[in-house]
């Protein structure tokens, strides 16, 4: 009983960290940028125009973030981003925080998530071992023509980063559909199984 309570408390604590750390880092950075840019440019604009502009720091921060994103998406910018990541990965504590924040942002912004249709269990990578997967689409192309079975494309994500993984093609009858939503499935993958869909904790501990 005591072990079960400790396990439950640990899962709650980990779930809290998974939410607080990735969310607080971007908020802290944006708040820092807003404050610094507002202090830097407000006196300049007041001198030029003769009055303060409300929300100037927010506007400049949005423009600055947009410009950084614009640079980061071109060829040279991508190289600079990779170089910056390599430098951050050399600092132990900063590396861990950066990776958590990056994985969280990739998870909530990845467009491929929209193509995940259903969460399923699939017997993979061997008999008796089940993996959490996401059906991306029914397979109607060449692979379907060479089999007599109805196939489905299933993406098997990697913990804790669901943006990478493996694509497998599986007969429909070998898939076990789950009732959890795609969002809950992604949360479960990111947390390494520590965060389960709401309402299912009691079943797992029973």
List pLDDT tens digits, range 4-23: 777 777 767 766 666 676 66
Residue with more model confidence, 124 or 141 = 124
> Which one, of 172, 181, 194, 177, lies nearest residue 116 by Cα?
181
157 CB neighbour count, 10 Å cutoff:
22
Identify whether the C-beta of residue 21 lies closer than 8 Å to the C-beta of residue 100: yes
User: What is the residue whose two structure tokens read 């429909």?
Assistant: 172
Please provide the average confidence, as pLDDT, over all residues in the chain.
Answer: 75
- The residue ranking higher by pLDDT, 189 or 88, is 189
Query: How far is Cα 60 from Cα 41, in angstroms, rounded to an integer?
Result: 9
- H runs (alpha helix) in the chain: 2-49, 56-72, 75-88, 92-109, 142-145, 182-190, 201-205
How far is Cα 170 from Cα 151, in angstroms, rounded to an integer? 5
Nearest to 56 by CA among 39, 76, 79: 39
The predicted pLDDT at position 8 comes to: 72
Please say if the pLDDT value at position 130 is more than 90: yes
Tell whether the model's pLDDT for residue 136 goes beyond 80: yes
pTM over 0.85: no
Query: What pLDDT shows up at residue 160?
Result: 73
Q: What is the mean pLDDT of residues 46-51?
A: 74
């Amino acid at each position: 009983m005591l072990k079960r309570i400790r396990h439950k408390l640990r899962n709650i604590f980990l779930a809290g960290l998974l939410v607080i750390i990735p969310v607080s880092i971007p908020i802290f950075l944006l708040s820092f940028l807003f404050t610094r840019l507002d202090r830097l440019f407000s006196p300049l604009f007041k001198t030029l125009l003769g009055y303060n502009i409300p929300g100037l720091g927010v506007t400049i921060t949005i423009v600055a973030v947009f410009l950084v994103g614009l640079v980061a998406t071109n060829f040279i910018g991508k190289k600079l981003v990779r170089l910056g990541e390599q430098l951050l990965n050399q600092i132990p504590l900063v590396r861990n925080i950066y990776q958590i924040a990056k994985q969280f942002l990739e998870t909530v912004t990845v467009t491929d998530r929209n193509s995940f249709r259903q969460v399923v269990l699939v017997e993979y990578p061997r008999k008796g071992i089940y993996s959490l997967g996401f059906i991306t689409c029914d397979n109607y192309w060449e692979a379907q023509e060479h089999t007599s079975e109805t196939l489905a494309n299933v993406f098997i994500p990697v913990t804790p980063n669901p943006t990478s993984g493996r694509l497998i093609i599986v007969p429909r009858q070998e898939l076990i559909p789950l009732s959890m939503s795609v969002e809950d499935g992604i949360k479960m993958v990111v947390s390494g199984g520590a965060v389960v869909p709401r309402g299912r904790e009691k079943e797992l501990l029973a």
